[in-house]
Structure 1
């Protein structure tokens, strides 16, 4: 085993044992440095250090699971935040080949087997994905609308508002 590993193991052992120590002492060593120890050194004036009480965490009993509801009974807004980011709304999006990415801002995180599905001009676009960064490829120039849905199977759980944006493509011959 390497020296670093042994040193880390020794340090961890000391940290584990530290809470069990009854008292910590502060003193000045022979080089004038402030030092701490769990035993007062011989022949050196050491002062006991008052430590704050240790933090403790009480074990919690698990809450009863919430009754399951079918995806059709989900509330209208299962997510606090669901929106697309990364699209300019006041100026044209420059994408010479029509390819760009958008991000999904969602809170809380996407749940279980739910997926994101883009709607481009109110039509499903691409394959559903659980990744919050989505790519659009070869989008024609002009004005478009884009939204994202959270789906579970064929059921739409929630949909973001549509964002209207303009794609600017420069064609060179």
Structure 2
């Protein structure tokens, strides 16, 4: 069975490898054919090789292109701690600290970046205790992102909290 199939495939492929001829017919038209007609001077046509695509191994990423982000949820635990959710946070000058619970430990070159009201806040850091300064009173949303340069690796759920600032006369 295997030889028969191979023979059939070879017979099918033979016409594709046939010679092409060029000649001029009685009306003066140029004609291309796979056989030379009798009594007409035909010239064989040299065809360029067929286009082919060679598989290529993927090239290693260059240092100019950002490395792809690690798999989603590279960290098992990423959350903010130290923020009251049931009562207002008393910070008369609007300054307070939050802690980041992250497991496993933050891996270099990853950094932590706070998002206050869905906007980046402060400078990225590799320290899991972050300070906020002069935050206005009222309700806010706070989250933390793990970043690698400008690439967001993972983001914690947002925590909604209220800042209470009391001024003494």
TM range (shorter): 0.5 to 0.7
Partner of 1:161: 157
Find the aligned partners of 2:74 and 2:67 in 1 and give their Cα distance. 10
Secondary structure class of the residue paired with 2:68: helix
Whether 2:118 is the aligned partner of 1:122: answer yes
Q: Deviations over 1:63-113 (max 9, x none)?
A: xxxxx9x75342210000000000000000000110000000000000011
Q: Are the aligned partners of 2:69 and 2:151 in contact in 1 as well (CA < 8 Å)?
A: no
Which is greater in Rg?
A: 2
Whether 2:134 is the aligned partner of 1:138: answer yes
Q: Are the aligned partners of 1:118 and 1:147 in contact in 2 as well (CA < 8 Å)?
A: yes
Find the aligned partners of 2:134 and 2:168 in 1 and give their Cα distance. 16
Find the aligned partners of 1:121 and 1:101 in 2 and give their Cα distance. 16
Please give the TM-score of this superposition, normalised by the length of structure 1: 0.58
Partner of 2:18: none
Whether 2:92 is the aligned partner of 1:102: answer no
Find the aligned partners of 1:73 and 1:166 in 2 and give their Cα distance. 34
Q: State how 1:18-167 maps to structure 2 within 5 Å.
A: 71-167=67-163
Q: Are the aligned partners of 1:76 and 1:158 in contact in 2 as well (CA < 8 Å)?
A: yes
Find the aligned partners of 2:158 and 2:67 in 1 and give their Cα distance. 23
Find the aligned partners of 2:101 and 2:168 in 1 and give their Cα distance. 35
- Consecutive unaligned residues of structure 2, counting only runs of 5 or more, are 1-60
Find the aligned partners of 2:73 and 2:125 in 1 and give their Cα distance. 20
After TM superposition, the runs of 4+ consecutive aligned structure 1 residues lying more than 3 A away are none
RMSD: 1.5
- Consecutive unaligned residues of structure 1, counting only runs of 5 or more, are 1-67
Secondary structure class of the residue paired with 1:72: coil
Q: How many residues align?
A: 105
